[in-house]
Chains A and B, each alone.
Chain A
Amino acid sequence: MNDVVSTFPLLRLPIDAILNTFRTMDPVQIFGVSLLSKKTKNIVKSFKITAETLKVEVTDMFKINLFFPSDTPLHFKLYQVSENQSLQELGTPENIHIHCNSQEMVWTNSMNVKQLLDHLKFIFHKQIDLLLFKENCERFNLESVYKNVTDVRKITISSGTHEHNKRILSLFQQ
């Protein structure tokens, strides 16, 4: 039996009301709508919802953190690599774990890391402010991080071996 879904024709509202509706959604819902088509992606972009900070964190996890002026952060966890796993390449994670407003969700995903970052940069009008390399960041293939995380304004290295840190600097200073 089909689920009965209560529907609402959002895009047939006046433009002020569409904007108002998007602005009262949590960032995760805005992001969700933006994924649905080129049209919704451009609509979300046109509303100029601007993130305050976009941060990428490489530890034993690969995370993307977005912060908004209203203090509602949006966190994406794309990978988690345990100690005995082989070197992790950044590709297209099957699922993404999203945390927003005390809610934890797992969404199936079809974008690779670069596409996801480009999408977030596009809809939330923000470049990557900070790329953080922290403890256990060596579990990720550095070249794949370099290829996927582009146009970074600042890099912070807070842990890791001397050799690995030298490689980070030489790669990202190219």
Chain B
Amino acid sequence: MSVENAPVVDVDEAAIPVEKKMYYRFESNDKKEFRVSELAIQQSETLNRLVEAMGYTSEDVENKPAIAIENIDGKTLKLVFQWCEHHKGEAIPVDDGSVPKIVEIPEFDAKLMDIDNGLLFKLIWAADYLNIVQLLNVSCKKVANMAQGKTPAQLRRVYLLPSDEEDEAAKRAAQEAQDPRAREVEEEFEERKRQGGNSFF
């Protein structure tokens, strides 16, 4: 099944079999609405727990506002739900702790993740936040694959990894940025001491 044809967003009601399936409505932080099947939601531990706790009936789903997912935008959420719909009913993998962790990227997932790195970054944050184990596995594997055949210098450029000197400079800059407030607190403390107070608080 191609990514474009994945039955996720704006599900065609006529395509739903005779037995009425439960769907939920979700809204992204940029007000895009999605209808997602109950079975697809099970791929996300976070959403699954949420809808269980809410105990919505089919009528509730239609009558109440869509469930807001405030830290994920519509473009990212669309990918997430496409993935969940495609993989609905599949067992959630159990981590056996092995290193290297063997993860294969199926064709559908590879096409779904044929996106720019900015969107891939958001997709990983979303998979982590929504606790979608296998989506996190495949998206992280895609990031890991960027390291294939690279020398350390190339790895530094690809993953934007700072050198010790750059880390030190960033640390110094952060300390300097904090200093004005730290100085204010210190001055306030000294002033209170002069006024005879025993405690800062």
Contacts and interface: CB of A to CB of B under 8 A. Distances in A.
Contacts, number: 125
Contacts of A36: 152, 155-156, 161, 163
A21 B144 contact: yes
Contact of B143 (A21, A27, A72, A103): A21
Interface stretch (A4-12, A79-87, A148-156, A161-169): A4-12
Contact of A25 (B125, B147, B158, B160): B147
B159 A107 contact: no
Interface residues of A, number: 39
Interface size of B as a range: 35 or more
A26 B141 CA distance: 11
Interface stretch (B24-32, B75-83, B96-104): B96-104
Interface in A1-30: 5-14, 16-17, 20-27, 29
B157 A5 contact: yes
Contacts of B154: 5
Contacts of B117: 6-8
Nearest to A101: B100
A32 B147 contact: yes
Interface stretch (A37-45, A55-63, A114-122): A37-45
B67 interface: no
A50 B162 contact: no
A36 B154 CA distance: 10
A171 interface: no
B100 A9 contact: no
Interface string B113-137: 0000100110011011100000011
Most chain B CB inside 10 Å of its own CB: which residue of A25, A38, A50, A107: A25
B124 A23 contact: no
Name B's interface SS: helix
Nearest to B148: A29
B140 interface: yes
B137 A8 contact: no
A68 B120 CA distance: 30
Most chain B CB inside 10 Å of its own CB: which residue of A24, A37, A105: A24
Contacts of B164: 37-39
B159 A24 contact: no
B155 A13 contact: no
A33 interface: yes
B100 A26 contact: yes
A8 B161 CA distance: 10
Interface in A67-84: 68-70, 72
B62 interface: no
B179 interface: no
A70 B147 contact: no
A35 interface: yes
Interface of B: 98-103, 117, 120-121, 124-125, 127-129, 136-137, 139-141, 143-144, 146-152, 154-164, 167
Given A7-B158, A29-B150, A29-B155, 6 more contacts: A5-B158, A11-B161, A21-B141, A36-B163, A37-B164, A103-B149
Interface of A: 5-14, 16-17, 20-27, 29, 32-33, 35-40, 49-50, 68-70, 72, 103, 105, 107-108
**Those 3 A-B pairs whose CB atoms lie nearest each other, nearest first:** A20-B140, A10-B159, A29-B147
